[in-house]
Amino acid sequence: MAKLKKKLPTAFPENFLWGGAIAAHQAEGAWDTDGKGISICDVLTGGNKDKKRDITKGVQPDYYYPNHTAIDFYHTYKEDIRLFAEMGFKAFRFSINWARIFPKGNETTPNEAGLQFYDDVLDELAKYQIEPIITLCHFEMPYYLVEHYGGFRHRKVIDFFVHYAETVMIRYKNKVSYWLTFNEINNQLKHIDELTVYTNSGIIFKENENQKQVVLQAIHHELVASAQAVIAGKQINPNFKIGCMLAAEPIYPASDNPADVMTAEISNRSLYLFGDVYARGKYPNYFYRMLENENLTIEIAADDLKVLQKGTVDFISLSYYQSSVVRYDKKAGSVYVNNEYTPKTKWGWSIDPIGLRYSLANLHERYQLPLIIVEYGFGEEEHLENETVNDSERIELLKQHIKQMELAIVEDGVELFGFTPWGCIDLVSFSTGEMKKRYGFIYVDRNDQGLGTNQRYLKQSFYWYRDLLAVNGDLRRLENGHAIKIN
């Protein structure tokens, strides 16, 4: 007889990928430099928490477009990466702007200057042994595909995406190991709203069309495109690790009323649907039933289901910001309600560190795949004082979330292999287009009108994160925000 035992980690594993994350459209600027085409976020105006961003028809002369200049990472990447290295980053997640490589999206030959830019960024990261994690599509489809194909409504866009994915995977096959396909693809089903659907799929709704029908067809095209990219990637370099990217926002039941509990379970399927296809390679039965019940149809090509089955992912990456709550409603089915236990940020996002552990445990149990958190952050309005920002609330929230990550690893046995907090340097907010909603460890002197020196300043969280990384995330070895030196 022997004892049933397994050696599990008791802390963050030694090779844990600590780092930070950005997206091309929110950081690079240089929107029309070196042959880049207009991407979908280049026609988004600035907004704020009370005013939505407008989608203009092409780039119009009289509007201010915050993504056109962003924080000018295109020209400052060397300085910024040096600062990331100073914090001890082991990984850096960023996206390739599709429109920099294929300005219109339907070309056969890529734009060499665009490819060269990412070669330079990758070389700079290699200098500091920082592992790149690349998102292929983080809301950066070429705008031409929106105007001429209706975005992912059109099946042809699968081919354009796969050609783009193959091009960059071949080019960087010896410089990149980790790839993610589509950023937060599930959000467009959870909230079928104009901005989310447009930025995820390049779709602008027509009058009186069945929006859910349109979105589901586009989602099918994206899932096939993602699976094809996985299959192609594995041929290009069998050592590639290719993952999906899900927005994890767990939905809790409003009470112990079984009707609320079941309503929450059903609402969570807006996330599970994607995980089920990416990880298990097939649409789940509840999805087929929903199509039938709601009289929705998805057109598929002969091989699509086989492609989904073959192109499953190696790992799941997720963003996590908040949780939400639903209750059963006889008329509407489900209604979102307030959670009195979770405070809110100024932008109304709920703060729920335990929800992160819950999400990790839940996704890991469901899919049995390694996980990486490629976004978490606290967006706040901040001002420089003595050339720094005292962002103690961000530090506190990071501590609370990191504690939950550790619990997930140690207590729940989750195979979590990295954490790249969002907006490791201040950048343009996706949902509002503001600079005012800051996430960074590094402050960028730029405001919502595009004014400022663009100079970088180190916030207090910069030093705290650097110290945390020096002790591999062991919060117990940090004293008053500074690492206790061991030996």
184 dihedral zone (left: phi>0; alpha: psi -120 to 50; beta): left
CA distance 102 to 50: 35
Q: Which tokens sit at 272?
A: 């599970």
Interface with ligand BG6: number of residues (CB under 6 A): 13
Three-state DSSP state, 469:
helix
CB 137 within 8 A of CB 95: yes
Task: For the CB of residue 480, give the shortest distance to ligand BG6 in the complex, in Å.
Answer: 30
Return the range that interacts with ligand BG6 (CB under 6 A); candidates 9-17, 207-215, 423-431, 459-467.
Answer: 423-431
Q: How far is the CB of 441 from ligand BG6 (least distance, A)?
A: 15
* Identity of the residue, 76 or 429, whose beta carbon is nearer to ligand BG6 in the bound complex: 429
Q: Which of 124, 140, 184, 222 is catalytic?
A: 184
Position among 422, 441, 462, 464 found at the interface with ligand BG6 (CB under 6 A): 422
Residue positions counted in the chain? 487
Shortest Å distance, C-beta 96 to ligand BG6: 14
Task: Give the residue with the Cβ less far from ligand BG6, 53 or 100.
Answer: 53
Catalytic residue, chosen from 375, 382, 406, 434, is 375
Residue 108 C-beta: closest distance to ligand BG6, Å = 30
- Residues 291-330, mask of contacts with ligand BG6 (x by CB under 6 A): ----------------------------x-----------
CB 242 within 8 A of CB 233: yes
- The reply to whether 183 sits near ligand BG6 by the rule CB under 6 A is yes
The H-assigned helical ranges of 247-383 are 258-267, 269-280, 285-293, 304-310, 353-367
Q: Which of 131, 140, 184, 426 binds ligand BG6 (CB under 6 A)?
A: 184
DSSP collapsed to 3 states, 137-183? ECCCCEHHHHHHHCHHHCCHHHHHHHHHHHHHHHHCCCCCCEEEEEC
Which residue has 């001002």 as its token pair? Answer: 383
- Of residues 12 and 422, the one with the C-beta less far from ligand BG6: 422
The answer to whether 429 contacts ligand BG6 (rule: CB under 6 A) is: yes
Under rule CB under 6 A, residue 379 binds ligand BG6: yes
Q: Does 378 bind ligand BG6 (CB under 6 A)?
A: no
Distance between CA atoms of 105 and 120, rounded to whole angstroms? 22
**Residue of the chain from 430, 462, 464, 465 that contacts ligand BG6 (CB under 6 A):** 430
Work out whether 196 is an interface residue with ligand BG6 (CB under 6 A): no
Active site residue 184: yes
Q: Shortest Cβ distance from residue 187 to ligand BG6 (Å)?
A: 7
Residue (226 or 432) nearer to ligand BG6, CB: 432
State the minimum distance, in angstroms, from the CB of residue 432 to ligand BG6: 6
**Closer to ligand BG6 at the Cβ: 409 or 444?**
444
Q: Does 375 contact ligand BG6 by CB under 6 A?
A: yes
Residue 28 sits in the site that holds ligand BG6 (CB under 6 A): no
Distances (CA, A) of 21 to 6, 7, 13, 308: 33, 31, 20, 28
3-state SS, residue 375: strand
Considering only residues 239-298, where is the footprint of ligand BG6 by CB under 6 A? Answer: none
DSSP string, 180-214: EEETTTTHHHHS--HHHHHHHH---PPTT--HHHH
Name the residue whose CB lies closest to ligand BG6.
431
Q: Residue 197 corresponds to which tokens in the numbers above? A: 């659907």
Is residue 23 a contact residue for ligand BG6 (CB under 6 A)? yes
Is 147 assigned a catalytic role? no
392-430 per-residue burial string, b: 16 or more CB within 10 A, e: under 16: eebbebbbebbbbbbbbbeebebbbbbbbbbbbbbbbbb
Q: For ligand BG6, which stretch binds (CB under 6 A), given 72-80, 271-279, 336-344, 431-439?
A: 431-439
List the one residue out of 385, 248, 232, 394 whose CA is nearest residue 316: 248
Apex CA 403: angle with CA 242 and CA 384, to 5°?
90
Query: With contact defined as beta carbons under 8 Å apart, do 454 and 446 qualify?
Result: yes
Distance in angstroms (rounded) separating the CA atoms of residues 35 and 257: 58
Q: Are strands 324-329 and 333-337 parallel, antiparallel or unpaired?
A: antiparallel
Beta carbon of residue 22, minimum distance to ligand BG6 (angstroms, whole number): 9
CB of 450 to ligand BG6, least distance (A): 17
The residues annotated with a catalytic role in the active site are 184, 375
Q: Would you tell me which residues interact with ligand BG6 (CB under 6 A)?
A: 23, 26, 183-184, 319, 375, 379, 422, 429-432, 437
